[in-house]
């Protein structure tokens, strides 16, 4: 399961109060190389772990319809985030000349309403996990960042995993980057994980098709590991 950069660092190494920029603070906590001339190899920063087969197109239409735009400040559930982080995240945007209200994606937080998609979410036997559907529409950009997921299991953050399942096919004009390697050409149902404590990543949609992905974040169990290790396994959702 190990990624190239995850080593054994599973805690914050520096104090966020010493930083104005969230990007700089999260960088100071990462083992990633941050060298654009070092090309990241396959499987070093993210890994494709299998594919779901099935037809959830009808549910997807409703998922898209029911999704709402979010910014960095509004992406969390109320009270979930420390204001300090949002201040730093907005500082990064405005210092670069962008708006603090940049729309990063649309969210649909009601995964349980969609039977087939929820079946996919439950498949991984995660514990204490968050289900969130991202619908990135034309023009939305999730600027470069490193995730802060330690709070999903403060006692043992090494157990935290973020699993992404693409719910529709890749389209030209959809960009998804981990480290300096592009993730692309996926088909609906493809599953991937990434080295969340270390790997900078970003997404953008310049196509005319909403990019829909299911994001699961929580504590992995032995069952989760077994499922994720079966790279070429196919799962069926009827
Ligand atoms: Fe992220």
End-to-end CA distance of the chain: 29
* Ligand 1 centroid from CA 143, angstroms: 9
Structural domains of the chain in order of their starting residue, each with its CATH number: 44-70+104-236 (2.60.120.330)
| 47 Cα: distance to centroid of ligand 1 (angstroms) | 15
Query: CA 201, CA 146: separation in Å to the nearest integer?
Result: 7
Tens digit of pLDDT for each residue in 94-128?
Answer: 999 999 999 999 999 999 999 999 999 999 999 99
Between the CA of 58 and the centroid of ligand 1 the distance, in Å, is: 27
User: In the structure encoding, which two tokens stand for residue 90, read together?
Assistant: 């907005």
Beta strands in 103-200 (DSSP E): 105-108, 127-136, 141-145, 160-166, 174-178, 181-182, 190-194
Cα–Cα distance, 181 to 96 (Å, whole number): 23
pLDDT of the residue at 201? 98
How far, in Å, is the centroid of ligand 1 from the Cα of 72? 11
- Gap between the Cα atoms of 162 and 129, Å rounded: 9
38, two tokens: 């070092």
> For residues 182 and 167, what is the distance between their CA atoms, to the nearest angstrom?
18
Distance 147 CA to ligand 1 centre (A): 5
Which token pair is 203? 């997404």
Regarding pTM above 0.75, the answer is yes
Distance 145 CA to ligand 1 centre (A): 6
Compute the distance from residue 83 Cα to the ligand 1 centre, in Å: 18
| More confident: 237 or 93 | 93
Calculate how far, in angstroms, residue 146's C-alpha sits from the geometric centre of ligand 1: 6
| Ion ligand 1: protein residues whose beta carbon lies under 5 Å | 147
Please tell me the distance between residue 237's alpha carbon and the centre of ligand 1 in angstroms: 27
Ligand 1 centroid vs 236 CA: distance in angstroms?
27
Segment 55-83, tens digit of pLDDT: 999 999 999 999 999 999 999 876 455 57
**CA 157, CA 217: separation in Å to the nearest integer?**
12
At 236, the pLDDT band (50, 70, 90 cuts) reads confident
Cα 118 to ligand 1 centre (Å): 21
Span from the CA of 36 to the centroid of ligand 1 (angstroms): 19
CA of 149 to the centre of ligand 1 (A): 9
Q: How far is the CA of 123 from the centre of ligand 1 (A)?
A: 22
Residue 4, C-beta contacts closer than 8 angstroms, at least 6 positions apart = 40, 41, 44, 45, 195
Measured CA to CA, the distance from residue 195 to residue 39 in angstroms comes to 16
């Amino acid at each position: 399961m190990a990624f190239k950069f995850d080593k054994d660092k599973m805690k914050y190494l520096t104090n966020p109060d010493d930083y104005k920029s969230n990007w700089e603070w999260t960088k100071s906590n990462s083992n990633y190389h941050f060298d654009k001339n070092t090309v990241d190899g396959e499987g070093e920063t993210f890994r494709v772990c299998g594919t779901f087969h099935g037809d959830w197109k009808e549910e997807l239409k409703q998922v898209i319809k029911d999704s709402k735009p979010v910014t960095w400040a509004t992406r969390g559930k109320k009270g979930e985030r420390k204001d300090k982080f949002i201040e730093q995240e907005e500082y990064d945007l405005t210092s670069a000349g962008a708006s603090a209200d940049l729309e990063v994606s649309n969210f649909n937080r009601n995964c349980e309403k969609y039977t087939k998609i929820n079946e996919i979410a439950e498949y991984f036997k995660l514990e204490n996990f968050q289900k969130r559907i991202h619908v990135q529409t034309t023009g939305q950009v999730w600027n470069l960042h490193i995730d802060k997921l330690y709070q999903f299991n403060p006692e043992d953050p090494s157990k935290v995993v973020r699993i992404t399942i693409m719910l529709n096919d890749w389209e030209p004009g959809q960009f998804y980057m981990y480290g300096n390697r592009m993730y692309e050409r996926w088909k609906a149902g493809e599953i991937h994980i990434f080295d969340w404590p270390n790997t900078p990543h970003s997404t953008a949609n310049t196509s005319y098709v909403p990019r829909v992905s299911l994001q699961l974040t929580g504590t992995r169990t032995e069952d989760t590991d077994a499922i994720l290790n079966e790279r070429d396994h196919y799962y069926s959702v009827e």
